[in-house]
Amino acid sequence: MSNLLPGAVIGILGGGQLGRMLSVAAARLGYRVHIFEPGAHPPAGDVAHMVTCAPYDDVAALTAFAQSVDVITYEFENIPTAALDLLETLRPLRPNRRALAISQDRLTEKAFLAELGLAVAPYAPVKTAADLEAAIATVGTPAILKTTRLGYDGKGQARIMSAADAPAALAAMNGADAVLEGFIDFTHEVSVIAARGLDGSVAAYDPGQNVHLAGILHTTTIPAKLTPSQRTDAVLLAARILNALDYVGVMGVELFVTPKGLIVNEIAPRVHNSGHWTQNGCAVDQFEQHIRAVAGLPLGDGSRFADVVMENLIGDDIARLPAFLAERNTAVHMYGKPDARAGRKMGHINRITGRAP
Amino acid sequence: MSNLLPGAVIGILGGGQLGRMLSVAAARLGYRVHIFEPGAHPPAGDVAHMVTCAPYDDVAALTAFAQSVDVITYEFENIPTAALDLLETLRPLRPNRRALAISQDRLTEKAFLAELGLAVAPYAPVKTAADLEAAIATVGTPAILKTTRLGYDGKGQARIMSAADAPAALAAMNGADAVLEGFIDFTHEVSVIAARGLDGSVAAYDPGQNVHLAGILHTTTIPAKLTPSQRTDAVLLAARILNALDYVGVMGVELFVTPKGLIVNEIAPRVHNSGHWTQNGCAVDQFEQHIRAVAGLPLGDGSRFADVVMENLIGDDIARLPAFLAERNTAVHMYGKPDARAGRKMGHINRITGRAP
């Protein structure tokens, strides 16, 4: 196991707000960051040592990027395969390809989780109208049809309340491969932000309870409503996923809480929106935890000293910024995006609501 | 009062670790930072939107810098007067010139504090051997001779235990104007990190207790050993200084604790090493507090949720980094300096030692 020394360069694929907050954490540990991002003026660019703005099929740019860094990580999972094929020949890629392959495809992900013995929603693959008819027969309704790839924040999804909704739902997939998932009768959603180090050690933060609005995460509340045994189950199943993938880095694991136990919704092989509360509740936040992992440093232990409510500021929400800034015990985190478009994550706040027990 | 909107640019004179941590705080509020720094590869450069590396007598560079920003602040007080004369005609300078003029000169500072009715050590100005003889007669020994300008971290100081030490002490001043200060019989040193907003509101953090080694701050411990009335006195006298100066920004006020009360040692018109603990003890740390003030935003209230011990990592101390990274509840803050020279501040740690009451 080799630790990166201060002064080493960490390459990050993606320059959005997650890359921005990872950059700050890396700087805090004495590292420099090189961002690779196709879009111009990425939010991470304001706080990174270097930025390469180039598309993912620019072999020369990818090669120069990789050769300038000591390790490569990423802030999102939908990186083109050919780019990864090239990058991983040049520098260590953490988390590894398997974690990416699994999380890039909902079907592969479900199969992986089920094989690990974890509970998932009933599901069936759908390419054609006939598949969908068969899937509805197996999975039942209500159900939700999702593209297997590239969906996020509620995009690429269609609800099927009865068989009559099938044609419209299939049309909404635009010809993409899909998976039908049965509705879960859950009381609430929680997520576990867990990390695994290069030495195989695992640390998890206390699970947070998530509320979505219009398909986008609205708030995460710490602590989540969980029984002690549910809390233990949540952390243990996250650790099981990390170990099975020989994972290095932070992962977000979304869980449905049901009367019969926890059901895994999905995993994200990266820092996660529902882990932003750790910035104001823990000595080592999820961003630093991820950098520690990919740099081969010891992990923080994940303990928290505060109860926190994280709230996303979406689009026009930033008009409320003056009120948030005037609130006691509230930390504001803006992403430096110029345009407050509808549905766009502009920032978040962490309200410290109490001291941890 | 005009608030800077997200996307505005904050100019910072000085690119050391204070400028670096100010840059991160500014980014968190959605601002961009432009650093002006004569030295190459400033620590703040890794996390700033823009850096100008130019000397303080480069009028064209200063002008371009000022014209690219919305407000100008600084991370250290010893900025050449001519540069300030130019900059303040172009953009608002916060904190103001008076705060700088007072803190740049120990004699002016003592006179200002005494005029405010605050207790300071007995002192007398010294330019010549005859002055020093007279000063020793007035102030007594032991005493300490300090250059009036440009001293920091114990530099430009000489102890006078008896009149026999006078010639060597005067020689150590290298012909610079000096001030003789009587030794104070203090039990410990504390500092108050206080802020004043553009609207005149004042907020102070809980005082920290400082321990120096070889003239350099070693640790700051929160809470400091103070009686409730001393704690109140400390905060009130800091507020008095800020109001007297019509100050905007964060100030560090160093105080000696004596059986007869608090004596002001010195003030620093900027974020202060003894305020680094706020990064892991408060929702709004001193760096964000300073940016909020100079940007015209509401101040955080300064309340803390944790007991903290801050420890500076000086020179070779960074060899202990692996142990610090492995400590529970310890946050590491590195400055990205390549060379661990003796006496150089390389980073600091904040140990969370308990929950605030």
Query: Residue positions of A in the annotated binding site?
Result: 106, 146, 151-157, 181-184, 189, 212, 265-266
Closest CA to B160 of B171, B152, B168: B168
Q: What is the pLDDT of residues A69-114, one digit of tens each?
A: 999 999 998 899 999 999 999 999 999 999 999 999 999 999 999 9
Q: Does some domain include residue B111?
A: no
- CATH number, position A317: 3.30.470.20
Place of tokens 């933060």: A205
Domain-located, residue A106: no
Q: Do B286 and B170 lie in a common domain? A: no
Alpha-carbon distance of A170 to A135, in angstroms, equals 12
Q: Do the domain assignments include residue B103?
A: no
Helix (H, G, I), strand (E, B) or coil at B270: coil
Question: Does some domain include residue B81?
Answer: yes
Question: Are both A29 and A126 inside the same structural domain?
Answer: no
Rounded CA Rg of chain A? 20
User: How far apart are alpha carbons B94 and B89 in whole angstroms?
Assistant: 13
**Structure-token pair, residue B297:** 């935003």
Residues of chain A with confidence (pLDDT) below 70: 1, 151-155
> What residues in A contact B48, CB-CB < 8 Å?
46-47
User: What is the model's pLDDT at position B180?
Assistant: 96
Are B148 and B244 within one domain? no
Distance CA A254, CA A268 (A): 8
The answer to whether residue B307 is domain-embedded is yes
> Does residue A262 sit in the same domain as residue A279?
yes
The set of residues, in sequence order, having a beta carbon less than 8 Å from that of B93 and lying 6+ positions away, is B72, B73, B84, B87
The annotated binding site of A for ATP is made up of 106, 146, 151-157, 181-184, 189, 212, 265-266
Both B144 and B225 in one domain: the answer is no
B318 to chain A: which residues are within 8 Å by CB? 6
Last residue of a domain, which of B132, B162, B182? B182
B353 contacts in chain A (CB < 8 Å):
none
Of the partner residues B280, B328, B331, the one whose CB lies closest to the CB of residue A301? B328
Beta strands B261-268 and B202-204: pairing type?
unpaired
pLDDT tens digits, one per residue of A42-60: 999 999 999 999 999 999 9
- Please give the residue range of the domain that contains residue B139: 122-182
> Do A146 and A68 have their domain in common?
no
Determine the residue of chain B that is closest to A350 in CA distance. B283
Q: What is the pLDDT of residues B57-116, one digit of tens each?
A: 999 999 999 999 999 999 998 899 999 999 999 999 999 999 999 999 999 999 999 999
Do A237 and A257 sit in the same domain of this protein?
yes
List the structure tokens of A197.
């180090």
CB neighbour class for B32 (10 Å; exposed up to 12, middle 13-18, buried from 19): buried
Same structural domain, B27 and B139:
no
Dump pLDDT digits (tens) for B208-259.
999 999 889 999 999 999 999 999 999 999 999 999 999 999 999 999 999 9
What is the C-alpha separation between A100 and A275, in angstroms, rounded? 19
Position B339 scores a pLDDT of: 86
Residue B40, sorted as left (phi over 0), alpha (psi -120 to 50) or beta, turns out to be: beta
A146-162 pLDDT, tens digit per residue, is 999 876 555 688 999 99
Task: Say if residue B156's pLDDT is above 90.
Answer: no
Q: Which two tokens stand for residue B293?
A: 């003030």
Average pLDDT, rounded, for chain B: 94
Distance of alpha carbon B280 from alpha carbon A287, whole angstroms: 15
